Structure 1
């Protein structure tokens, strides 16, 4: 049984709102409530993405970064774009 994309979207919106509330009341850098709501966004997004695909064979342009990835360090796509640019003469 597949999940209704509208219900999954509502759950994702709720997860984002809960994260905003937790972030605004943050108690330190590693607040467990903020971390839990952060993970809740990931879970809700994955359910929404699957429901959207099952219903309409559509996806979003969003990507969830895994814990093993470091932002920008393992991504070679930026380097490929930079290699294609001509240096500025000055």
Structure 2
């Protein structure tokens, strides 16, 4: 059963608004309410992205980054090519 993209968008907007409210009332650095609102945005976004794709074969330009993505960034910087190197002729 496919979810209506409009309903998924409304849920994402609500999750963003709830995160704003939670962030503005933050009680400490690791406030569980802010953390829950943060995770709700991720869940709502994933549902919206899937609904959008199912209905219109379309995606957003947004990406959710997690802890594993920092490893990808480090890997990309390690793979840079030195343009000053010349090929070795045998």
TM-score, normalised with respect to structure 2: 0.79
Larger Cα-atom Rg = 2
1:40 maps to which residue? 40
- Displacement after TM superposition at 1:29 (Å): 0.7
TM-score normalised to the size of structure 1? 0.79
Q: Per-residue deviation at 1:20?
A: 0.1
Gap regions ≥5 residues in structure 1: 85-90
Distance 1:31 1:72, change over 3 A: farther
Tell me the distance in 1 between the aligned counterparts of 2:28 and 2:71: 22
Unaligned 5+ runs, structure 2: 84-90
The Cα shift of 1:66 comes to 1.6
Cα deviation, residue 71, structure 1: 8.8
User: What's the Cα RMSD here?
Assistant: 2.2
The match for 1:87 is none
Cα distance change on mapping 1:65 and 1:75 into 2, 3 Å:
farther
Q: CA deviation at 1:70?
A: 3.0
Moved >2 Å (runs of 4+): 67-77
Matches within 5 A, 1:1-90: 1-70=1-70, 73-74=73-74, 76=76
**How far is the alpha carbon of 1:75 from its aligned partner?**
6.3
